[in-house]
């Protein structure tokens, strides 16, 4: 699976509802046929928070920013933000795929992180 596929969503071919790919049927009309929608371009910060007491996997960080972003085609994602300073809702960010931590078993965990343009 490519990194980009992890952010793909589904658009119902009957009613047009955009929803996460984990749903097997449309949440609105219960239709079961979808078009795959990939995120396009940069994204905008919808909201964010600064975690001051991160989970054990992030023990090397005293805090970090976590945000919800929305791409121009409506796809939303949640992920870490590369900085904790000068964050403003509505600002443009771009995603990059990187190691974010080691889990409690010592395995590397990779995910999208969003950084200001």
For residue 5, pLDDT over 60 is answered with no
Do 52 and 26 share a structural domain? no
Query: Is residue 84 within 8 Å of residue 51, measured between CB atoms?
Result: no
User: pTM score, two decimals?
Assistant: 0.84
Range of the domain at 65: 43-116
Number of neighbouring beta carbons within 10 Å of residue 62: 10
Contacts (Cβ under 8 Å, ≥6 apart) of 19:
9, 10, 11, 12, 26, 27
Do 71 and 33 share a structural domain? no
pLDDT digits (tens, 9 = 90+) for 51-110: 999 999 988 899 999 999 999 999 999 999 999 999 999 999 999 999 999 999 999 999
The pair phi, psi for residue 86, each rounded to 5°, is 55, 35
As a whole number of angstroms, the distance between CA 91 and CA 43 comes to: 8
Do 112 and 61 share a structural domain? yes
């Amino acid at each position: 699976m490519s990194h980009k596929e992890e952010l793909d969503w589904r658009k119902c071919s009957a009613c047009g509802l955009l929803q996460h790919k984990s749903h097997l049927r449309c949440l609105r009309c219960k239709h079961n046929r979808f078009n795959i929608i990939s995120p396009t371009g940069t994204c905008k910060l919808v909201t964010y928070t600064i975690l001051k007491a991160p989970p054990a996997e992030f023990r090397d960080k005293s805090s970090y920013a976590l945000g919800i972003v929305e791409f121009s085609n409506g796809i939303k994602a949640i992920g870490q933000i590369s900085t904790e300073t000068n964050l403003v809702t509505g600002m443009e960010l771009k995603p990059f795929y990187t190691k974010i931590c080691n889990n409690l078993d010592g395995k590397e965990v990779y995910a999208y992180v969003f950084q200001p343009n």
